A and B are shown apart, each in its own frame.
Chain A
Amino acid sequence: MTVLTRPLKVLMLAMASASATIAVTPAAAQDAVFVINAREAGSPTYNPIKGTKLNVGNNLIFDRMVVQDADQSFHGQLATSWESSADGMSWTFKLRKGVKFHDGEPFNAKVIEWWLPKYKGTENAFMTDAIDKVVIVDDHTVKLMMKNPDPSLLLNMATSFMGIPSPKSYEALGDKFGVTAAVGSGPFKLESFTIGQQTKLVRNDDYRWASALSSNQGPAKIKRLTLREIAEESTAFLELKTGGVDMLLSVPTDFMPRIEAEKSLKAVVMPGTEVFYMPINTSVAPFTDIKVREAVALAVNQKEIQMSLFGGLGAVANNFLVSSLQESKINPKFNISYNPERAKKLLDEAGWAVGSGGIRAKAGTPLTVKLWTQNGTQFKRVTEVIQAQLKAIGVNAEITVQDPASINAMYKKKTDHQLAVRAYDYTNADILDWFFSGARLGYPNVSMWNDAKAEELNAKAMKGSRTWEERVASFKVYHEYVMSQFVFAPIYQPTQSFAYSQARLKVPDTIRGIKMATQTIMDIEVK
């Protein structure tokens, strides 16, 4: 006993003193630590021209020509105004004066003339494919001459991939741009960046040109901002709870009750930009039969999934697009909703009769299908519920779980899969082209849908519109046709949620922009 008594006392004392001295040090005044959305974790670069996976830091370092509000309306940032010619073959942009990049270089029309051609041959070339050339009208006015009308030009200009870098630094750094340094004109300068770990940003004290969506025109109220990447959701939540970080830019639905139970924390729910859906491989039996496709789609009880798995948060999905998009407002008769009776009737008509154990069969072959999903708690839970819902109409679905990189490669084999539970996060109707174009069979066209009429409608929607209104109308027609063919089942639209420490941050009541991003971060104060 005596052998242990003294060391034990020493240990206890050491732990007690440690508790007094090693307590987590709160961040300094005006310094803040945010945990980025897990989807954005692992972004390898801050090069908007070449990067295909960018995180929230990108829009803090680089300004864009235009930004979007929560209602998806466009507002000027580096462009003060813009107009398109009646035929859609040219766009004129007036540029903001007095803007400087972090390296002191001025922003003007010459920058645009240098910047847009830089996309040629890069992974993001499709953003500027429709632009033929840039004509400088004066120091702060440019005219973009188009190869063909592109009503989605503004949408493209508002994405992170169209952040504008400093030409001087971009050319000087070459392939190292975005990796060792990144120079833009945004409200924060890049101090350091470790892939998969963290990004340290410092305030750009010269910044005075925030968009009208921010009350504060600049400089930002946060002096130093650290963006941490914490892949494990429990760890991120515990960091917020203990004051190790000040904000989580995404919160899984599972954690919402726990955050709401903490008085010092506040969770904010925003309209979602994500859709869960179940592509149906139209090229393999039994889904070559539209009746079976429709039956499977009608078997998905979207409301049950929303209520039982997501606590009623978010919204059910009845078509392919995020409900805030105009192109999602199609004729209601094309929307897909839970209807088990019709699903059963369709299977009967298709010759699939109820067999032993409630599983349907045709010519002695049971209706057993493959149901793929990717790893991750939400995916697995949604898939398990759908498995049960399919069983209720007599379809035996066997689940296979893969990691995202593997499953995408497996879709490319084209005929190995039948059903899958997937999700996308995007707010442009051209996602319909990405996921249902006959040019991308296997992946991302997991539905393997290749239909002449669909291709025609797709081409019209993608390239045949001169104005935004025309584009919306064309995409609605294409969307309705996609829906009519039952090439997927819509499932669920999650909300976007973020959470922050009320003791540390003062966040505006109204969140501007589609996501928690620059527009709102400009107005966040550190208490």
Chain B
Amino acid sequence: MLVYLIRRLLLLLPVFLAVSMVVFMIIHLVPGDPIDNMVQIGASPQQRAILVARYGLDQPLLVQYGVWLRNMLGGDMGDAIVMRQPVIDLIAENLPHSLRLGGLAFLFSTIVGITTGALAAVYKDSWIDRSVMTLILLGSTLPSFWLGLLLILLFAVQLEWFPVSGARTWTALVLPVLTIGLHGVALVSRVTRAAMLDVGRRDFVLMLHAKGLSHRRIQLQHVLRHALLPVATILSLRIGWIVGGAVTIEFVFARPGLGSLLITSLAQRDYPVVQGCLLMLAMAVMLGTLLGDLVQAAMDPRIREQLR
């Protein structure tokens, strides 16, 4: 297992380099630059040129990339050009908000998704199943931007249960968590239901029925346990999205976080911040996937056997 872990970590290095290059090039190839956000509109071309040179933006792109990568590997994410703060400070300030929101949404989608998926499988073709399927359909198809506004209208405006936006109290987390979480609920619920129905057709389940165990007990104690492996796979793939899955939702709910920081810095073409945020999101996905693989290996003896 340790060898497997080391091998996977080594494999991440070329992926990291490739991602860093893509991240760097994406933002530099988009029209616009941060200097436009630093100078007054009436500034002379000479004033612009001074700033362009000060931030090394007149250097060839590959040279700029090399400098940035070297600093990154040395633990220095650089200073924001427009925001004039160390990028690491900006990320450190915003990351906890994203982790809190994404983590709770992940927890919510896991618990509710498995529960509803299991219920739908246990009571297949009943009104419960149909209700869950409707939930799955809505959760999969409604754009989160629109769903967020709908939830605000219902729970914040009509019922006045929760604040519309912001991050001042814990109650402000409820609607964004629901908005992000519902999409996850749909996915987890669908996979749980399908996996349980699949396992339910296996021979050992037939044997359990023959032994006289109740349907509900077979489903919840035996079928669900075996069905959790594909669910764990899906969940592990979503771990990385804990950080990056809330970009638009942070915008709708005017919440701090990496998503809000990314949108603000993108609008200002604040290259170091955009690069830092995108790299953080990419790394979260990469590490999340790795963690997911490890969880799977821990859960499934067949995978462990293959690793030996």
Contact = CB atoms under 8 A, between A and B. Distances in A.
Interface of A: 3-4, 15, 18-19, 22-25, 41-42, 44-45, 52-53, 123-126, 175, 179, 194-197, 228-232, 234-236, 238-239, 241-242, 244, 402-410, 424, 430, 433-434, 439-440, 444
A440 B41 CA distance: 10
Contacts of A19: 159-161
Contacts of A239: 163-166
B85 A179 contact: yes
Nearest to A444: B41
Secondary structure type dominating chain B contacts: loop
A489 B62 CA distance: 43
A4 B119 CA distance: 10
B108 to A, nearest CB: 13
Nearest to A125: B47
B31 A409 contact: yes
B153 A238 contact: yes
A197 B172 CA distance: 14
A126 B42 contact: yes
Contact of B166 (A42, A244, A404, A430): A244
B26 to A, nearest CB: 13
A235 B156 CA distance: 11
Contacts of B44: 439-440
Contact of B254 (A123, A235, A402, A410): A235
B33 to A, nearest CB: 7
B83 A44 contact: yes
Given A42-B264, A123-B47, A232-B252, A53 B164 contact: no
Contacts of A407: 31
Contacts of A25: 169
Interface string B36-71: 111111111101000100000000000000000000
Contacts of B152: 235, 238
Interface in B249-272: 251-254, 256, 260-261, 263-264, 267-269
A4 B116 CA distance: 11
B119 A406 contact: no
B82 A44 contact: yes
A244 B165 CA distance: 8
Contact of B42 (A41, A228, A408, A433): A433
B128 interface: yes
B38 A52 contact: yes
B260 A408 contact: no
B30 interface: yes
B151 to A, nearest CB: 11
Contacts of B147: none
Nearest to B39: A123
B156 A52 contact: no
Contacts of A433: 42
B161 A235 contact: no
A153 to B, nearest CB: 16
Contact of A52 (B30, B37, B85, B163): B37
Contacts of A4: 119, 128
B42 A196 contact: no
Given A405-B36, A434-B41, A434-B42, A235 B82 contact: no
B12 to A, nearest CB: 31
Contacts of B279: none
A229 B160 contact: no
Interface in B3-46: 30-33, 36-45
B254 A232 contact: yes
B125 interface: no
A410 B256 contact: no
A194 B160 contact: no
Contact of B162 (A22, A41, A232, A236): A22
A408 B82 CA distance: 17
A234 B165 contact: no
A282 B42 CA distance: 20
A44 B43 CA distance: 19
Given A22-B162, A232-B251, A238-B164, 19 more contacts: A15-B161, A19-B161, A22-B171, A45-B84, A123-B47, A195-B85, A195-B90, A195-B261, A197-B167, A231-B251, A232-B252, A238-B153, A239-B164, A239-B165, A241-B157, A242-B163, A405-B36, A434-B41, A439-B45
B198 interface: no
B164 A196 contact: no
Contacts of B256: 194, 196-197
B59 to A, nearest CB: 18
B38 A242 contact: no
A65 to B, nearest CB: 19
Contacts of B47: 123, 125
Q: Give the top 3 A-B pairs by smallest Cβ distance, nearest first.
A: A405-B32, A409-B31, A196-B264
B161 A23 contact: yes
Contacts of B43: 123, 126
Which of A236, A408, A430 counts the most chain B CB atoms within 10 A? A408
B30 A440 contact: no
A239 B156 CA distance: 9
B145 to A, nearest CB: 9
B149 interface: yes
B42 A229 contact: no
B42 A230 contact: no
Contacts of B93: 194
B254 A409 contact: no
21 contacts: A19-B160, A23-B161, A44-B268, A45-B83, A126-B42, A126-B43, A179-B85, A196-B260, A230-B165, A231-B251, A232-B254, A234-B149, A235-B253, A241-B157, A242-B164, A244-B163, A408-B32, A434-B41, A434-B42, A439-B45, A444-B41
